[in-house]
Amino acid sequence: MIAELGGIRNLRINVAKPDTGPTRHAFSTNGSLELPAYQLGQQVATRKAYGDALVALGKARGDVVVLDGEVSNSTFAEEFRDELPDRYFEMYIAEQQMIATAVGLQVLGWRPLASTFAAFFSRAYDFIRMAAISRVDLRLAGSHAGVSIGEDGPSQMALEDIASIRAVHGSTVLHPCDANQTAKLVARMADTDGIVCLRTIRDGGDVAIVAAGVTVPEALKAAVALAEDGIEARVIDLYSIKLLDEETLRSLRCPIVTVEDHWPEGGLGEAVLAALGDADERPTVVRVAVREMPHSGKPEELLREAGIDADGIVRAARQVVQARVSAP
């Protein structure tokens, strides 16, 4: 169609829309979701649990497809590739195209899950942002986040990913701390636009430690050390950083220490502050985060240098509790 506007000829091209009718190929499934389960004390990386859960999800559902940016041996998406190769898409080092393809697959009725190193999603940020504007459901899994990845160095450490994805309209940011939690959240991701949940795993009334991911076990260690000093710490596993259970956060009457393997800007600590921002009364919030550019090293060394290990959490908690006791 050609239209005249103010003497200027404008060419409008009618582009055929994708056929979103009920023509999608149906893969055979077992129809029963049997998520992997891990024993107490068993050390399993959350990315390994992601791969295990993908396989279980794919076998139970014929609409699940998986994409990866040529790091499937690290994200463990290769487990899905090996078990269900007809529904796996290797996108190579082309994160923008991976997101674009995931959008297209979702429009056609599939449930795509796309994975790469969390830091590399920054290359496709505009595609993620535009997908949100188009009201597309994206399911993304970013591995190797924070200084805790160790010797790969700062170029591979996602320290901005929480902030960037939190800023996307309608997004949900999940940060599980163990394998069982990861598997269950992967299953929920397939059908849920957002999860609102905050889970407490240790009680105490002197200070609340809010952590996520790798900092949760460090927070639990800190709680044990603080108890030896007579300080009872409540540990909150904030595995859903967006959306938050604001009611639970607002119910806290003790000082709060947030700890995250992320820059302080835009991460877990600021999410907690935002939840408390318009409260009539709120407790003191101390944010423990990565504040100096990290380097290559052992994970435990880098956690300690960043001050986000158990010792760093203990120091912050002691200071905030002492300040509360000393206040007139």
Highest mean pLDDT, choosing among 25-29, 189-193, 257-261, 294-298: 257-261
The answer, yes or no, to whether residue 326 has pLDDT greater than 80, is no
Give percent above pLDDT 70 in the chain.
89
pLDDT in tens, 83-100: 999 999 999 999 999 999
Q: In this structure, what are the phi and psi dihedrals at residue 103, rounded to the nearest 5 degrees?
A: -60, -45
Catalytic residue among 78, 79, 95, 160: 95
Q: Where are the alpha helices (DSSP H) in the chain?
A: 46-60, 72-75, 78-83, 95-107, 125-133, 161-166, 179-189, 215-228, 246-250, 268-276, 299-306, 310-326
Residue 22's pLDDT is what? Answer: 62
Closest alpha carbon to 166 in 46, 63, 76, 268: 268
pLDDT in tens, 58-71: 999 999 999 999 99
Q: How large is the average pLDDT for residues 320-326? A: 84
Residue 279's pLDDT is what? Answer: 85
pLDDT in tens, 177-231: 999 999 999 998 888 664 334 445 777 889 999 999 999 999 999 999 999 999 9
The answer, yes or no, to whether residue 2 has pLDDT greater than 50, is no
pLDDT in tens, 250-268: 999 999 999 999 999 999 9
Whether 95 is catalytic: yes
Task: Output the average pLDDT for the chain.
Answer: 88
pTM above 0.75, yes or no: yes
Residue 165's pLDDT is what? Answer: 92
Distance CA 170, CA 195 (A): 11
Query: If you search the block for the tokens 């940020």, which residue do you land on?
Result: 125
Residue 198's pLDDT is what? Answer: 43
The answer, yes or no, to whether residue 160 has pLDDT greater than 50, is yes
pLDDT in tens, 103-129: 999 888 899 999 999 999 999 999 999
Residue 12's pLDDT is what? Answer: 52
- Which residues are CB-contacts of 12 (< 8 A; sequence separation ≥ 6)? 1, 2, 3
How many other C-beta atoms lie within 10 A of the C-beta of residue 193?
Answer: 11
